[in-house]
């Protein structure tokens, strides 16, 4: 595996691979890699000739009072995990490489962002599509791999790819969980011991909601019960609980279409998100 830190070097590497007719798979990440990221690398490795994993904690997708500074980072760890799990290239650009000057053209997401994290984190998805547009242009992947854990991100990227004719196949991979059900996340290291004990209850609550949907309870009842369950947890507080159509993310009254049940929950030093699709 090679580590590439400059855009110029990345572009010439990709040009060469494309001339050889190789299919490029791309796994964009913010690092502090775990089995969720690894599952994307493995899938990319199965389906593509070359796997490029990027590590970039993108400042433009963090709000002023969010955890940009506190976001965990460990490049040596990431390098080893990427190398051992089928990445051919680790793209590790600096902020000045990615944002050399104030761009005169801005990207704004106007669909699928007025709810969930889009509502709670204003500007977050503008930052996500801005960095992904840059990365897609640099890496020119044939396929890009994303986790269902960030379901709204998947919905937004799906729209970005379609609206701007990126010749990229979006591959969505299932959420990888700890044995107790907690969705793997780089932010889990910021949970204290008590919070870590409680955190799996988020996924339990989502599963209870799924069972209620299967038994025929209404969207309204299930959302209310889920919200009540989270309110009873002994630490933290609910950021949102929503039941929406997927990937459109519109309110629904009945479960007669693909539906997401999603939540965000704030512990002291980590805000966690999780969802299930039914």
Cis peptide upstream of residue 247 (ω within 30 degrees of 0)? yes
**Shortest CB 41 distance to ligand AMP, Å:** 10
| Contact pattern for ligand AMP over residues 139 through 168, marking x by CB under 6 A | -------xx-xx------------------
Tokens 């950021």 -> residue: 239
**Shortest CB 261 distance to ligand AMP, Å:** 17
Nearest residue to 154 (alpha-carbon basis) of 190, 117, 197: 117
Nearest residue to 270 (alpha-carbon basis) of 198, 208, 203: 198
Largest CA distance in the chain: 58
| 40 or 90: CB nearest ligand AMP | 40
Q: Is 61 in the site for ligand AMP (CB under 6 A)?
A: no
| Nearest-angstrom CA–CA distance, 77 and 149 | 22
For residue 232, CA distances in Å to 194, 207, 217 come to 15, 16, 21
Q: Is 260 in the site for ligand AMP (CB under 6 A)?
A: no
Q: Is 186 in the site for ligand AMP (CB under 6 A)?
A: yes
Task: Count interface residues toward ligand AMP (CB under 6 A).
Answer: 17
SS3 state at 53: strand
Query: Which residues lie closer than 8 Å to 151 by C-beta, 6 or more apart?
Result: 246, 247, 260, 262, 275, 277
**Shortest CB 190 distance to ligand AMP, Å:** 13
Q: Is 37 a catalytic residue?
A: yes
Q: Is 78 in the site for ligand AMP (CB under 6 A)?
A: no
Nearest residue to 113 (alpha-carbon basis) of 98, 97, 99, 129: 129
Among 37-45, 75-83, 201-209, 266-274, the segment contacting ligand AMP (CB under 6 A): 37-45
Binding to ligand AMP (CB under 6 A) within 79-108 occurs at none
The residue from 54, 113, 185, 275 that contacts ligand AMP (CB under 6 A) is 185
List residues bridging with 259 in a β-sheet.
245
Residues lying near ligand AMP in the complex (CB under 6 A) are found at: 29-30, 36-37, 39-40, 146-147, 149-150, 173, 175-176, 183-186
Active-site residue numbers? Answer: 37
């Amino acid at each position: 595996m090679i580590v590439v830190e400059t855009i110029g070097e990345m572009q010439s590497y990709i040009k060469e691979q494309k001339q050889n007719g190789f299919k490029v798979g791309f796994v964009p990440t913010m690092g502090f890699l775990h089995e969720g990221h690894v599952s994307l690398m493995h899938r990319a490795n199965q389906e593509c000739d070359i796997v490029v994993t990027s590590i970039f904690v993108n400042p433009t997708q963090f709000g002023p009072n969010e955890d940009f500074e506190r976001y965990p980072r460990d490049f040596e760890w990431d390098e080893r995990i990427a190398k051992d799990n089928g990445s051919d290239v680790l793209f590790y650009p600096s902020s000045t490489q990615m944002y050399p000057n104030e761009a005169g053209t801005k990207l704004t997401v106007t669909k699928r962002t007025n709810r969930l994290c889009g509502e709670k984190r204003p500007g977050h998805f503008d930052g996500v599509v801005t960095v992904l547009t840059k990365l897609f242009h640099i890496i020119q992947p044939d396929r890009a791999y994303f986790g269902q854990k960030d379901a709204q991100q998947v919905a937004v990227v799906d729209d970005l790819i379609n609206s701007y004719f990126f010749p990229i196949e979006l591959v969505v991979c299932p959420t990888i969980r700890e044995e107790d059900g907690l969705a793997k996340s780089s932010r889990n290291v910021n949970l204290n011991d008590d919070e870590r004990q409680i955190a799996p209850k988020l996924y339990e609550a989502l599963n209870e909601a799924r069972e209620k949907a299967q038994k025929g309870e209404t969207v309204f009842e299930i959302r209310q019960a889920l919200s009540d369950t989270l309110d009873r947890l002994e630490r933290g507080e609910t950021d949102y609980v929503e039941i929406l159509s997927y990937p459109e993310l519109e309110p629904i009254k009945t479960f007669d279409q693909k539906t997401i049940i999603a939540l965000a929950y704030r512990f002291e030093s980590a805000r966690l998100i999780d969802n299930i699709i039914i």
